Amino acid sequence: MAVPIPPSRKLSWKILSVALAAFLIGSNIAWVYVKATDNHDLSAVSGRLDQLQKDYGAQGEALETQQSANSDLQKKYDDLLADLSNLGPQYELYQRLRIESLAADYYQTIRENVGPQSAGWRQNGGTWAELVSFCSELAMHDEGKMSWKDYEAMYFDGYQTYSYDDALAKLKFVNEYAGVSTSNTSVENVAAILQFIVGHVEYQRDMIDKFFAPVETLFYRSGDCEDFSALAAALFEVAGIDSAIGFFSSTSESSGHAMALVHLDNLGAYNWTYYSDLTSFGLSSGTWITIEPQSLITDQSGSWISQWVLEAAAEA
C-alpha cells in the first residue's frame, strides 16, 4: 500500500529540486565565466609574451652593440699598452742621452778654444784636412779615445767623472738600444746603427757652421751632415767597425758635404760605393766604403754618393 507523502515533505523536495537546479545553473554560469576569464587571461599573457620577446630582441641588439663597443675599447686599450711598453725604453733612452749645462758648456768651450770657432780659425780659416781632423777628434773623444786635458779638469770638478767616459757610456747604450750585437755581422750592425740614426735624428742646418760632438747630436736629435757623420763614425767604432769621416766637394752642389767611411770589404747584398785605397788621405790601407749616415743601408744610392769628390778624411 502506498504511503502518502506528507505535504510538508513534498514542499521540501520541491525546494531541494529548485535548489539543485539553481546550483546546476549557477555552476554552468560560473564555468562559462571562468572559461571567459581564462580566455581573456590567455590573450593577455600571449600579448605580454610577445612584448617580452620584442624587449628581449631589443636587449639582444643592445648587447651586441655594447659588445662591439667593448671590443673597440679593448683594442684601443691594447694599443695603449703597446704604446706604453714602447714609451718605457724611449723614455729611458732620452733620459740617458740628456746633457746638462756643464757638459754643454764643456763642448762649446772646446769649439771656441780648439775648433773652428776659435780666434785663430776665424782669422785664418781652416783647410779641409784641419776641419775634418777636428770633426774626427770630437768623435774620438766621445769614443773614449782622447780628451783635451786643459779643459777636462773643469768637467771633473763638476761631475767627478771624465767627459769621455760619460760620452762613451751613452754611445754604448745607444748601440745596445739599436740592436748592435757581437753576434751580428759587421754589415748587420751598420744597418742597425743607420736605422737608429735615421729614426732618431733629423737634418737641420747651422746658423753658424759648427761641429757638434756625437752625444750632443743625440741629445738635440738633430744636426747637419758633419754631425751625422761624426755620430755614425763614433757608433761604428764603438761597435768594433773601423770608421772615418770624409769631407767632400761637388761641381753640382753649391756646398760641401760630409759622410762616414767604414773599413769593410763590402756591404753584402746592399749597394755600396768604395775606395780601394785611401792611404794618400792618411787612412789605413784597404777598402773604404762610403756611408751616407742620413740614409738607411738599403738607400746607399751610388748616384748620390758618386757625385761627391773626397777632399779630406780622418779616421775616427
Q: How far is CA 57 from CA 42, 50, 53, 157, 303, in A?
A: 22, 11, 6, 78, 68
pLDDT tens sequence across 246-259: 999 987 777 899 99
Q: How far is CA 174 from CA 33, 93, 117, 164, 231, in A?
A: 93, 8, 29, 15, 11
Integer Cα distance of 227 and 258 in angstroms? 9
- Nine-digit cell string for 29: 554560469
For residue 248, give the nearest of 292, 282, 301 by alpha carbon: 292
pTM of the model: 0.75
Confidence band, pLDDT 50/70/90 cuts, at residue 32:
very low
Mean of the per-residue pLDDT values for the chain?
86
Confidence band, pLDDT 50/70/90 cuts, at residue 236:
very high
Average pLDDT of span 152-161: 92
Q: What percent of the chain stands above pLDDT 90?
A: 59
What is the structure's pLDDT at 123?
A: 65
pLDDT tens sequence across 168-195: 999 999 999 999 999 999 999 999 999 9
Residue 46 scores a pLDDT above 80: no
Q: How far is CA 33 from CA 21, 42, 44, 142, in A?
A: 18, 14, 16, 105
Write the DSSP string, 28-88: HHHHHHHHHHHHHHHHHHHHHHHHHHHHHHHHHHHHHHHHHHHHHHHHHHHHHHHHHHHHH
Are 279 and 244 in contact by the 8 Å Cβ rule? The answer is no
What is the structure's pLDDT at 192?
A: 98
Are 184 and 165 in contact by the 8 Å Cβ rule? The answer is no
Residue 14 scores a pLDDT above 70: no
Enumerate residues 6+ apart whose C-beta is below 8 A from 79. none
Are 215 and 167 in contact by the 8 Å Cβ rule? The answer is yes
Average pLDDT of span 249-274: 92
Please give the helix or strand (H or E) that residue 225 lies within, else none. helix 225-238
Residue 75 scores a pLDDT above 80: yes
Confidence band, pLDDT 50/70/90 cuts, at residue 219:
very high
pLDDT tens sequence across 108-135: 999 999 888 787 776 677 899 999 999 9
Neighbours of 158 (CB within 10 A): 15
More confident: 62 or 20: 62
Fold of the CATH domain 100-315: C8orf32 fold (3.10.620)
More confident: 40 or 89: 89
Q: Is 224 helix (H, G, I), strand (E, B) or coil?
A: coil
Average pLDDT of span 43-58: 79
Residue 86 scores a pLDDT above 80: no
Q: Which residues pair with 248 in a beta bridge?
A: 257, 310
What is the structure's pLDDT at 264?
A: 98
pLDDT tens sequence across 208-218: 888 999 999 99
pLDDT tens sequence across 283-311: 999 999 999 999 999 999 888 999 999 99
